[in-house]
Amino acid sequence: MHYSLDKRRRVLFINSALHPGADTWIHFQILRNLPRDGFELHAAGQPGSSAPAFDELRAIPNIALRPTNFGPSLWQRSKLQKIGGIAGALPAAASLLGLAAYIRRHRIEILHSTDRPRDAVACGVLASLTGAKALIHAHVNYGDWMSRGVTWALGRADAIVGVSSYTAKSFEKAGYRPDRVHAVLNAIEPSRWDPSLSPAPGRTSLGVPDGAPLIVSVARLFREKGHFELLSALSLVKQKYSNVRLAIVGSDYPADSGTTQALKEHARELGVGENVMFTGQRSDIALLLAACDVFSLPSFEEPFGLVFAEAMAMKRPVVALTNGGTPEVVEHGKCGLLSLPGDVDALAANLLRLLGDPALRTQFGEYGRSRVEQHFTPQRMASDFATLYERMLA
């Protein structure tokens, strides 16, 4: 898709996060890969003394970066904290009015935000003030827990884009206009995941004995990620492989503090306490994936599951559930094995099948890597958004 300079589409990305999460990394990839001959790209970010997300935006070439005060985050704060946050509302309002003037001055046509409350509300307000089209990129499924501000912004949006067809359909089911709901699958950068890495350093760092089968699971820890069911399945796997090890990588989700302790107690009750390692948050995920025989995350109603694509890029087979957006990433019987939610026996059987068949693990791993390279690249994702922008402005 090629454009003359005078017909470039003008898009502004809204990112209020100080620390980049999975959603902001996805947006950085889109910004890096949209063709500059077709798009004039802008970004509004929140600067600060410790704002790595703003620094990442600043490092993206050929975009115009507009520092913006979005105010304090009030998500999951107490009423007292929200009242205290009013003091920061006036400077933020002034900054957003300045951003509206910036949008009008640069004739920006599309505002692209995450579904974070500050981002989504700012997107809706700015669209109303400027006449630009509003696109809200939904990285989570629709839920009644969403704030009034977010649901207002979603209703105002010209496009709601889910990270999977499953996520997109959750917004249709909630009553949002089907003609404004779309799906663009997430992506990773395959070159950042090297499947030739040696398993030894990761196994050593985890203290895994020689010859012991290793399952790795990476996620924020909360109930819906399926770790309790994975531990139950592990107790069945242990009946055949007494030396099996499971590394649970990740820290508690703030709203579910205490999950790690509950999982440790559950593991002891099941008799697998000595088989399970809780690593907390780690930055060397590629090394840990290289170390494992199987990756497993039986998460329930996963919107997409970037970590599945990462494991596939590392040529590791995946064991997960056949629900949510997971089947759109992991092809059952080709790069992983999927079972129904709640069926611990089937989950354990899938783990046992892969642990007992090195050739099948290799076959699944090769297919998984090729699938990532064909379907889950930033270039494909950016191209999908370029097409959607054109549809929005047609």
pLDDT value of position 168: 98
Going by C-beta distance under 8 Å and a sequence separation of 6 or more, which residues neighbour residue 376? 185, 186, 187, 188, 190, 309, 329
The domain covering 190-375 belongs, at the CATH homologous superfamily level, to Glycogen Phosphorylase B; (3.40.50.2000)
The percent of residues above 70 in pLDDT, for the chain, comes to: 94
Average pLDDT over residues 387-393: 97
pLDDT value of position 3: 43
Say if residue 195's pLDDT is above 90: yes
Average pLDDT over residues 62-88: 67
Average pLDDT over residues 235-254: 95
Considering only residues 4 and 157, tell me which one the structure prediction assigns the higher pLDDT.
157
5-187+377-393 and 190-375 share one fold: yes
**Is 168 in contact with 183 (CB distance < 8 Å)?**
yes
Average per-residue pLDDT for the chain: 93
pLDDT value of position 331: 98
pLDDT value of position 72: 75
Say if residue 6's pLDDT is above 70: no
**Is 308 in contact with 330 (CB distance < 8 Å)?**
yes
Q: Which two tokens stand for residue 269?
A: 């009750």
pLDDT value of position 257: 82
Phi, psi values for residue 273, rounded to 5°: -55, -40
Neighbouring CB atoms inside 10 A of 209's CB total 9
pLDDT value of position 4: 43
Question: What tens digit of pLDDT does each residue of 106-115 get?
Answer: 999 999 999 9
Closest residue by Cα to residue 66 from 16, 19, 124: 16
pLDDT band at residue 48 under the 50/70/90 scheme: confident
- Taking the C-alpha atoms of residue 290 and residue 194, their distance in angstroms, rounded to an integer, is 8
Question: What tens digit of pLDDT does each residue of 285-334 get?
Answer: 999 999 999 999 999 999 999 999 999 999 999 999 999 999 999 999 99
pLDDT value of position 82: 44
The percent of residues above 90 in pLDDT, for the chain, comes to: 88
Q: Structural domain boundaries of the chain?
A: 5-187+377-393, 190-375
Task: State which amino acid sits at residue 228.
Answer: F
pLDDT band at residue 81 under the 50/70/90 scheme: very low
Q: What is the DSSP string of 184-222?
A: ------GGG--TTS-SHHHHHHHTPPTT--EEEEES-BS
pLDDT band at residue 51 under the 50/70/90 scheme: confident
Q: Which two tokens stand for residue 19?
A: 């620390």
Q: Which two tokens stand for residue 123?
A: 């997107």
CATH T-level fold of 5-187+377-393: Rossmann fold (3.40.50)
Say if residue 53's pLDDT is above 90: yes
pLDDT value of position 89: 66
pLDDT value of position 85: 46
pLDDT value of position 84: 45
In sequence order, the β-bridge partners of residue 14 are 44, 113
**Is 208 in contact with 291 (CB distance < 8 Å)?**
yes
Say if residue 356's pLDDT is above 60: yes
Average pLDDT over residues 48-59: 90
Question: What tens digit of pLDDT does each residue of 177-187 get?
Answer: 999 999 999 99
